[in-house]
Amino acid sequence: QVQLKESGPVLVQASETLSLTCTVSGFSLTNYGVIWVRQPPGKGLEWMGIIWRNGNTDYNSALKSRLSINRDTSKSQVFLKMNSLQTDDTAIYYCTSGWAYWGQGTLVTVSS
Amino acid sequence: DVVLTQTPSILSATIGQSVSISCRSSQSLLDSDGNTYLYWFLQRPGQSPQRLIYLVSNLGSGVPNRFSGSGSGTDFTLKISGVEAEDLGVYYCMQATHAPFTFGSGTKLEIK
């Protein structure tokens, strides 16, 4: 069955770079895209970006300058990197495919 | 970027009551391929979002048929015909017609 799981650091220092991994199973990254969504504590959902099945990417306009999404299809992994972190980047970070399948999310806290 | 305006922000309902949530877009969500990429999600407390509706009116897998979606162009509605206790949470609309994709601000459904 389709599964997605986010992994990465729980705590990151301000001004540093966040690196998260979404490991998928049950489908191929060459057939379906993967999307990153985040949610600050107590707030709404924010679309961050997508890596399409062909490897192309699109990003949230507000994050574009410091965000990149890549993948390793052989390992069924998608990578999110975001630099120059600030405390308001503290959030639960989710990956999803097709909007029907979601990871459980990973809480990242940015400390000043 | 496309702005999705959801109303109301808070909805209080009794069990069995029918309710509707509105989602208005700042531009048409009809894609050149003929599809309208408007989705509805429910996020229960402490859980990842769950896709309820895709392409305006298609029920997601395993979603009860008391949920229905309608609309076209810029105006969309999610209806719950007979609210049940398990429906409490925050409902979001989302558009994936125009990159960057965007979410509405959410509607919190409370059970009286």
Chain A residues whose beta carbon lies within 8 Å of the beta carbon of residue B103: 44-47
Q: How far apart are CA A3 and CA A96, in angstroms?
A: 9
* Chain A: closest CA distance from residue B82 (Å): 24
Q: How far apart are CA A69 and CA A91, in angstroms?
A: 17
Chain A residues whose beta carbon lies within 8 Å of the beta carbon of residue B69: none
Give the Cβ contact number of residue A25 at 10 Å. 10
* Chain B: closest CA distance from residue A40 (Å): 13
Check residue B58 and give its pLDDT. 98
pLDDT band at A81 (very low <50, low <70, confident <90, very high): very high
Report whether A48 contacts A80 (CB < 8 A): yes
Q: Which helix (H) or strand (E) holds A22?
A: strand A18-25
pLDDT band at A98 (very low <50, low <70, confident <90, very high): confident
Q: How far apart are CA B109 and CA B19, in angstroms?
A: 10
Contact B94 A46 (CB under 8 A): no
CA distances from A8 to A37, A107, B89, B100 (A): 15, 9, 27, 25
Q: Is B35 on the interface with A (CB under 8 A)?
A: no
Chain B residues whose beta carbon lies within 8 Å of the beta carbon of residue A59: 100
* Chain A: closest CA distance from residue B75 (Å): 20
Chain A residues whose beta carbon lies within 8 Å of the beta carbon of residue B90: 44
User: What six digits make up the tokens of A71?
Assistant: 């993948």
Say yes or no to pLDDT of B20 above 90.
yes
Nearest CA in chain A to B93: A45
Q: Is the peptide bond before B8 cis (omega within 30 degrees of 0)?
A: yes
Digit-coded pLDDT (tens) for A8-17: 999 999 999 9
Q: Is B106 on the interface with A (CB under 8 A)?
A: yes
Chain B residues whose beta carbon lies within 8 Å of the beta carbon of residue A102: 48-50
Check residue A17 and give its pLDDT. 97
Looking at chain A, the whole-number percentage of residues with pLDDT higher than 90 is: 99
- Which whole number is the average pLDDT over A100-110? 97
- Which whole number is the average pLDDT over B73-78? 98
